[in-house]
Amino acid sequence: MSTMGAGTTGGQEQGGGITETVSEQATKAKDKGRRELRDQLDDRTTQLGQQARSLAETLRRSGVEAQAHGPDEMGVEQITGGVADRLERAGGYLERANGDEMLRDAEQLVRARPWVVAGAAAGAGILASRVFKASSERRYDDSTNVSRTAGAPVTPSASRSYEGVSVGA
């Protein structure tokens, strides 16, 4: 009986070692995934920052060219210059900030101005709903136009198909 009890304890210790090894490997894989994701985020935001700064430069040049065409274009140069300045600042931030800094800044913004963030989220939701509604109406209109061009006008209630059998009004 004593040999049986010792064998069970040895098996439990071996099982515990396997669990510990699997846990360590999972932790290493998770850390590696986080590092790769962070590196990719840093690369993408740096690219986005460079593109924003390039766009700012282009806007600034187009504003100067618009001013050269006439004195009436002075407002255009001021507007494009202001937009270009903001794009340059945003581009510089995206180029130098890493993912942790951006997350920290986003958290600070949400804590400092929760109503602004809630309003922006509501606006984005309303905009998304309008886009989806417009696209569904367009798809519906396109499907009824296709059926009309194929023959007599077909309304949704006039002709239906159930399990391969067409039923007409």
Cβ neighbours of 78 (radius 10 Å):
12
What is the reported pLDDT for 6?
47
Residue type, 81: G
How far apart are alpha carbons 143 and 74 in whole angstroms? 49
The Cα angle at residue 31 between residues 30 and 32, in degrees rounded to 5: 90
Give per-residue pLDDT as tens, 123-143.
Answer: 999 999 999 888 887 777 777
Whether residue 160 is predicted with pLDDT greater than 90 in this model: the reply is: no
What is the reported pLDDT for 164?
54
What does pTM read for this prediction? 0.53
